[in-house]
Structure 1
Amino acid sequence: MMCSRRLRAGIATILLTAASSSFALNTATIVSSVLSPDCLEYRITGICYWLYCTYGGCSVRTSVKVRHYVPDAVVSSYSNTGENPWIEVRAMSMPNASARAGGDGTTNHDNENNLAKFKNADVVGHPGGYVLGRFASSSGYACQGAGTAFMPYLLSTLDTVAWRYNIPEVVYPEALIPGMREVGSRTGLNLWGNVYPRGGLLHQSDDHMAGAVVAQRAGDVVTRRGQLHVYQPLLADAEDGYWPAGALVETDAQTGKWQELAPSLSRTCTVFPHANTRVQAQRGDYAWALWRPYSCCEREGQVFLGSVDFY
């Protein structure tokens, strides 16, 4: 009982410390942020069937199939090259000979509707896997995500040609045809920006929206294979009794959702666009945890026979 009280007190201390951190994002804050039932969204979805054999014969065993979200990565979107808001990984993406400056491309007038902005983006493995595993396993069996803590999956300072010059995606149909790949829509009066070309340049007068669109672009790249970018795919291979997340698709929570980490820490997850309050970062630096859905069931035999979903 005393140990339980100490554990709860320790978690509360971490949460309070994280909530009060408004000037810098650190690993402790990110780890504590995984304690979110809204983002985890744990549920039992079906039953898996296994063939279990011994010298005495074979039998069919079952295990519960579960589905929940896992924070695979922290996606940072920031104006000034070398100033990733996540302090401990900032050294991964310092300025280099081909990636030096950043920031807005036209004037400093807030009322300019055609304001060109530039954002760097880093996709780094989320460090909260252990805490998330313990948190999820309190509800039952927990699935493994694709991300490895602190692993760089995309650093825009190393992806200069694609990220700063939009080559070759500037001529892709998705970049040329309005409405083909967009965060929000014109008809819904909530258009935040276009997904393609997936680089750091866009026109958006709202800095928070610009940061979110760039984060969506970076997430779009790393959750697909064979893209013409310098990156590592953030994908896991399917196995018997394990169904990993696939490609991230804008506005579709069934493919992934976002938890804001900086400039303000949120305890809930959402997709872009959203109607929540948008806090503007003074230096144009934002960060989100990318949560993606996984399904799995505990292995109960040598041969996987299949699964049945309740819905």
Structure 2
Amino acid sequence: MRRIRTPLPVTLVAALVIGLTSMMPAPQARAITTPEIIASSLSTECLDYEVIGICVWLRCSSFGCTVRTSIRVKHYIPELVVSSYENTGDNPWTEIAMLSPPLGDALGGGSSDVRVAHEHVNTRFKNTDAIGHPGGAFYDFISNFGWSCDSPAVPFKPYFLSTLDALAWRSGIPEMAYPEALIPGRREMGTLGDLWSPIYPRSGFVSQTHDYKTAATTAQRAADIVTRRGQPHVYSPLVPRGGDNSGRWPPDPVMEGDASTHKWQRLEPDKTMSCSIFPDGGENNLLRDPGDYAWTLWRPYRCCKKRGKKLLFFTGG
């Protein structure tokens, strides 16, 4: 028998319904495999490769100094596979599911359709994992030739597992008291007239009737956590280093609705070879039972091959 043991900031009735849902036998989940995920990382549309300028380096030795140049490029790199799924232990990425078994307070999942005045309505919960993308190794390899950038993301490394972050992910503590969670209009995902959900508190619970929007919201929240340091969650930060003299200009932390910080590629269900930010149109026809989803998080980099100790100047945006 599966059950939830967690101090939830929702109604007692909603919590009981979610617990009862988690005890019911779950339908067979769809799954995506590692070879399929690697193949999806070859999307030229998501890569969005462009030569944007040159870098000019000063290289000195005991025989004097010379000036050398290298091309400056920009493109996106697949860094994380972010899965958002219904029942604990049922990550749709087949080879990774074993990393998130039911553990301690991280038991069960499901949703509630309870309607009580002045209380949460249609509360849904998603487990969420962010794992290093296996296709990133290819981009690291070709970066050695000076025509592309690399990423610090380590393939298959678990950067965020919601089962290990059970207190914050299942209670919203302490972020339920943050200004972003209390002030309407701050850190909202969606568009005017079609707001999906607030980003804060960054937990697995979303008051939302649409399952795809719920899953996308929790995926966005996980990416928001992982790409920053010092967050009140159990995770491994993915924060690349860079700077002008390194010849490497990494992206800013993920921000909802901002393509200059990230893009999403849907992997499951109905894998695509294109990328976009949320809202991405998937909400129009992608409702699945069980509600298990996965996306690739692509992030933009600018770089040039280092050919000296000092970067004199560079061109391009």
- Which bracket does the TM-score occupy, shorter chain normalised? 0.7 to 0.9
Map residues 241-280 of structure 1 onto 2, 5 A cutoff. Answer: 241-276=247-282, 277-280=284-287
Q: How does 1:97-246 map to 2 (within 5 A)?
A: 97-107=104-114, 114-132=121-139, 141-185=147-191, 188-239=192-243, 240-246=246-252
The amino acid of 2:218's aligned partner reads V
Match of 1:31, SS?
helix
Secondary structure at the residue paired with 1:77?
A: strand
Residue equivalent to 1:14: none
Matched AA of 1:120: N
Cα distance in 2 between the residues matched to 1:282 and 1:136: 41
Q: CA deviation at 1:304?
A: 2.2
Identify the residue that residue 58 of structure 1 maps to in structure 2.
Answer: 65
Aligned-partner SS, 2:79? strand
Q: What pairs up with 1:17-56 in 2 under 5 angstroms?
A: 23-56=30-63
Q: Shift of the alpha carbon at 1:107?
A: 4.9
Check the 8 A contact 2:265/2:276 in 1, yes or no. yes
Moved over 6 A (4+): 134-138
**Cα shift readout 1:57-82 (whole Å, capped 9, x = no counterpart):** 21211111111100110000111111
Q: What TM-score, normalized to structure 1?
A: 0.86
After superposition, give the CA deviation of every residue in 1:191-239 in whole Å (9 maximum; x if it has no partner).
1111000000011111011100110000000000000000010111115
- Does residue 290 of the first structure (1) align with residue 297 of the second (2)? yes
Q: Which residue of 2 aligns with 1:16?
A: none
Structure 1 window deviating more from structure 2 (297-306 vs 41-50): it is: 297-306
Determine if contact 1:42/1:136 at 8 Å carries over to the other structure: no
What secondary structure is seen at the aligned counterpart in 2 of 1:157?
coil
Q: Is the contact between residue 41 and residue 135 of structure 2 (CA under 8 Å) also seen in structure 1?
A: yes
Q: Distance in 1 between matches of 2:111 and 2:309?
A: 57
Partner of 1:12: none
1:34 and 1:132 in contact (8 A); partners too: no
Question: How far off is 1:47 after superposition?
Answer: 1.5
Instruction: Give the equivalent residue in structure 1 for 2:93.
Output: 86
Deviation at 1:95, TM superposition (A): 0.4
What CA distance in whole angstroms lies between the structure 1 residues aligned with 2:91 and 2:177?
29
Q: Distance in 1 between matches of 2:182 and 2:144?
A: 46
**Rounded Cα–Cα distance in structure 2 between residues aligned with 1:133 and 1:167:** 37
Give the number of aligned pairs: 282
3-state DSSP of counterpart to 2:215:
helix
CA distance in 2, matches of 1:197, 1:286: 21
What are the residue-to-residue correspondences of 1:1-20 with 2, within 5 Å? Answer: none
Letter matched to residue 61 of structure 2: T
Gaps of 5+ in 2: 1-28
AA in 2 matched with 1:227: Q
TM-score normalised over the length of structure 2: 0.84
- Give a deviation string over 1:16-58, Cα, whole Å, max 9, x none: xxxxxx9311101100001111100111122111111233321
Gaps of 5+ in 1: 1-21
The question of whether the paired residues in 1 share the 8 Å contact of 2:267 and 2:295 is answered with yes
The CA deviation at 1:242 is: 0.9
The residue type paired with residue 256 of structure 1 is H
Distance 2:253 2:259 in 1: 12
8 Å Cα contact 2:137/2:155 also seen in 1: no
Distance 1:206 1:248 in 2: 23
Is this contact kept in 1: 2:139–2:149, CA < 8 A? no
The secondary structure found in structure 1 opposite 2:98 is: helix
- 1:150 and 1:221 map into 2 onto residues whose CA distance is 18
- 1:173 positional shift: 0.7
In structure 1, how many angstroms separate the alpha carbons of the residues matched to 2:114 and 2:292?
Answer: 19
Offset at residue 160 of structure 1 (A): 1.1
Q: Secondary structure at 1:158's aligned position in 2? A: coil
* Distance verdict in 2 for CA 1:137–1:264, change over 3 Å: farther
Residue type of the alignment partner of 1:198: R
CA distance in 2, matches of 1:55, 1:159: 54
Secondary structure at the aligned position of 1:91 is classed as helix
